[in-house]
Amino acid sequence: MTAVQQQGASPPAPAPQGGPPAPPVPSGSVRPGLADVRARAAAMPPRRGIRRAVPRTNSGRIRALSAGVVVVLAGLLLLSWNAVHDARTGVKVIGTAGPQVIATGDLYFRLTDMDAQLAHALLVGAGPAHAADRDQALTRYDGSRSEADKALVEAARLARDDTEKQTARSLLDALGRYERLAGQALLLDQRSPHAAGPPSAAVTQLYRQATDLMKLELLPQAYNLTLDNGTIVRHTYEDKRSAVLTGRTVVLVVGFVLLVLLGGFQLFMTRRFRRLLNLPLALTTVAVLVVVAWTATMLSGEASSLAKAKHDGFDSILALARARAIGNSAQADQTRFLLDPGRADTYEQVFQSKSQTVLYLKADNLADYQNGVKGLGTLQSPRDKPLLGFLGDEGRRPGGSIEGLNDVLHGFQRFQQNDRQMRDLVAHGQRDDAIALQTGQAATDYTSYDKSVVKLAAVHQATFDKAMKDGKGGTKGWQYVLPVAGLVVLLLLVAGIRPRLAEYR
Amino acid sequence: MRGLRYGAAALAVAASAALAAACGIAGASESSVAHKTKLVIGVNKDQPGLGTQQPDGSYQGFDIEIARQIARFMHAHDVEFKTITSATRETMLRNGSVDLVVGSYSITPERKTQVSFAGPYYVAHQSILVRAADGGRVKTVHDLAGRKVCQVPGSVSFPRVTKERGVPAVAVSASGYKDCLDALTTGRLDAVSTDDLILAGLYAQNQRGGGPALRLVNAPFSDEPYGVGIKQGDVDGCEAVNKAITQMYQQGIPAKLLQAQFGSSGLDFTSTVPQFEGCE
């Protein structure tokens, strides 16, 4: 007995450097199979380099492979979780920032409307004949002012850095000055009643100061602030979409690594235990395949929802909001043209340049442009006449509606025809008729044009809402799916290796 | 032993993650001018007051100063100027010979199909320059009817008067606006009509050279938004330029530059930031 013990305790020379020496256990408590394996292992020549890291016993190898599978699986689940989180953040930020930015875009529209209504009220005058018209304009002025205040507060809240905050402060300051000038002009105009048409020189002077302030300070800064806010949405969109797509690649690569590992495991088991298939292990592989494929598909869906919300929804809504604001300010330039003949040339040129921003056609002058607009007729498809400007961009966007676009185009054509008629009347000395047209039929036609723009924007709003809903639905329940999938894979793995490990106990 | 195995697995995960992340970054615009430390800016060399090249090869003028300020606020330490012409500027932006163009480059829908525009950094207005003696008779563009007005080939200014405003002015051809100035001072023509900044530059040059008294008529009749040309699709770069322009205006820099360059002409300047075109 002593001799045997001594033999077992002393390591054979040369001692294997990698594995621990076989412990001096009483041979009776160990099954012959394991003792045999250990003896064989001990008899092997010493191994060097990376091979030293490979366990030499079957049970050690099974444990090591299983540990590898568990580690990679944990990595896969964490990375998937991360990608799902990115997708959720992207959808959430665009879902809330998008509408907020669109609300600040409203600021520009409200400001132009304030100046338009002020011009209108001064043009019709304080006489009894146009009392209702003037009251209506002033009511609309107040409404727009209140909306502008609201949008400005929202824009200031969204400001990210000092530059944007300073812009918001400067806007508040300029708006205060504008309201003071507007109040003075209205009061002075009330004290010197006139028939519809240009007011007194003093009133015109005050209005010029007000409208210059609007044009040179308020509107540019409001517009730039909306553009700045739009970049928040663009950056979130680009960051999150790229994070989701990167996450998808990572999930696919790590998933592939896991599948290779499981394949190797299966091969090892087949060779060592001479069984064609370890069923639970095969099921583990299938489960991993399903999880990886499902996650990757879901992430692709999220990325495309984000893209749809941004390009077909948000971009169009913002562009149409700008087209609406610029159209409204062009309409105000018509009123200013009538209100202030001293600046008629400038107001006419600015009207043309704003009209061309909405719908660009090359033209030598306004009359030429208006003939071109009339000649556009009805579009069969957005591509049959390549247009430039906001309406051209809208035509090129996918997901728009050709009927909606044609409604807008027809409204715009009427708007330009009325303008031609109004300017011709002025040229022939029929200023009163021009004013009657501008405050009557032309105003009604403009309102219906404006409504068609709003209606077209609603189509894109629906696209945006649908994409947001899809985006939210896509990741629904994934906080449960991933842990459950992990658990299933783990249980299948245990079921696959437990009986084999048991053979060595 | 097992520790090594874990290490290898962790390494594999980390490597694949890094690989995928690298793919993601490559998708971002690596060629954007937003992060360049050196900017090559295309400018004019023959517009008095706006951009002129000196005999020693250096450039000066309002556009040059604006370009320097934009580069400063974009944190570019190094600026190189290159001469552009109306014929070459789109090509030079597209093939990357210049990063930006700052050279009285009006933003138009047609040009926007070829290049992107940041800014405008200033909105100029078409106006009129006459001899001081005619100052009382030429008050608006309509007073140019029947007068001899300078026409520079390739410039849209003369057609603006005759076609857009419908004023029957008489064309007198000149090779460029410097030539127009000579013709105006020698009496070969009656008026020069183009962007007010160019006119103010001519006015200042004439004053420095001791020419006859001129008058800049303050009757603007168009908006000319001077944009910063940038390679099409460089949205990050465009936003960075817009931010630089905003900061420049918030510090009141353009007003000082305009005053220094054109103050003597009595032109009305705008000292607040213009309405941007938008980068997308």
pLDDT of residue B169: 94
Phi, psi values for residue A23, rounded to 5°? -70, 150
Does B27 contact A at CB distance below 8 Å?
yes
Q: How far does A459 lie from chain B, in Å, by closest CA?
A: 21
Which residue of chain A is at minimal alpha-carbon distance from B13?
A254
Does A70 contact B at CB distance below 8 Å?
no
Question: What is the H or E stretch that residue B38 is in?
Answer: strand B38-43
* Residue B104 Ramachandran class (φ > 0 left, ψ -120 to 50 alpha, else beta): left
With beta carbons less than 8 A apart as the criterion, state whether A148 and A183 touch.
Answer: no
Domain ranges of chain B: 33-124+225-265, 126-217
Residues of A in contact with B27 (CB under 8 A): 242, 245
CB contact under 8 A, A227 and B28: no
Q: How far does A365 lie from chain B, in Å, by closest CA?
A: 4
Which residue of chain B is at minimal alpha-carbon distance from A227?
B278
| Percent of chain B clearing pLDDT 70 (strictly above) | 89
Spatial separation of the C-alpha atoms in residues A388 and A395, rounded to whole Å: 9
Residues of A in contact with B21 (CB under 8 A): 246, 250
Equal fold, B33-124+225-265 vs B126-217: yes
Architecture of the domain spanning B126-217: 3-Layer(aba) Sandwich (3.40)
Does A66 contact B at CB distance below 8 Å?
no
The distance in angstroms from the start CA to the end CA of chain B is 56
Does A82 contact B at CB distance below 8 Å?
no
Spatial separation of the C-alpha atoms in residues A435 and A439, rounded to whole Å: 6
Which residue of chain B is at minimal alpha-carbon distance from A354?
B223
Residues 420-479 of chain A whose Cβ lies under 8 A from any Cβ of chain B: none
Which residue of chain A is at minimal alpha-carbon distance from B270?
A216
Complete DSSP assignment for A159-213: --SHHHHHHHHHHHHHHHHHHHHHHHHHHHHHHS---SS---HHHHHHHHHHHHH
CB contact under 8 A, B274 and A220: yes
Residue A128, preceding peptide bond in cis (omega within 30° of 0): no
Residues of A in contact with B272 (CB under 8 A): 216-217, 220-221
Question: What is the H or E stretch that residue B151 is in?
Answer: strand B148-151
SS3 content of chain A, % helix, strand, coil (to 5): 85, 0, 15
CB contact under 8 A, B13 and A18: no
Question: What is the H or E stretch that residue A392 is in?
Answer: helix A390-396
Does A364 contact B at CB distance below 8 Å?
yes
Q: Which residues contact A145 (CB under 8 A, 6 or more apart)?
A: A110, A114, A179
The domain made up of B33-124+225-265 has a fold known as: D-Maltodextrin-Binding Protein; domain 2 (3.40.190)
Spatial separation of the C-alpha atoms in residues B101 and B237, rounded to whole Å: 13
Query: Would strands B100-106 and B214-217 be described as parallel, antiparallel, or unpaired?
Result: unpaired
| pLDDT, tens digit only, all 505 positions of chain A | 434 444 444 444 444 444 444 444 444 444 555 556 555 555 555 666 666 667 778 788 888 888 998 999 999 999 999 999 999 988 888 887 777 777 777 888 899 999 999 999 999 888 887 888 899 999 999 999 999 998 888 878 877 788 888 888 999 999 999 999 999 999 999 888 888 888 999 999 999 999 999 999 999 998 888 887 788 788 888 888 999 999 999 999 999 999 999 998 888 888 887 777 888 888 889 999 999 999 999 999 999 999 998 888 888 888 888 888 889 889 999 999 998 888 888 889 889 989 998 998 888 889 999 999 998 888 777 666 677 888 888 877 766 678 888 899 999 999 999 999 999 999 999 988 999 999 889 999 999 999 999 998 888 889 899 999 999 988 888 888 889 999 998 998 888 888 888 877 6
Map tokens 């590898």 to a residue: A68
CB contact under 8 A, A234 and B164: no
Does A216 contact B at CB distance below 8 Å?
yes
Does B54 contact A at CB distance below 8 Å?
no
CB contact under 8 A, B280 and A234: yes
| pLDDT, tens digit only, all 280 positions of chain B | 444 444 444 444 444 444 444 444 433 445 789 999 999 999 998 888 899 999 999 999 999 999 999 999 999 999 999 999 888 889 999 999 999 999 989 888 778 888 999 989 999 999 999 999 998 899 889 999 999 999 988 778 898 899 888 899 999 998 888 889 999 999 999 999 999 999 999 999 899 888 899 999 988 888 889 999 999 989 999 999 999 999 999 999 999 999 998 888 888 888 999 999 888 7
Residues of A in contact with B279 (CB under 8 A): 227, 231
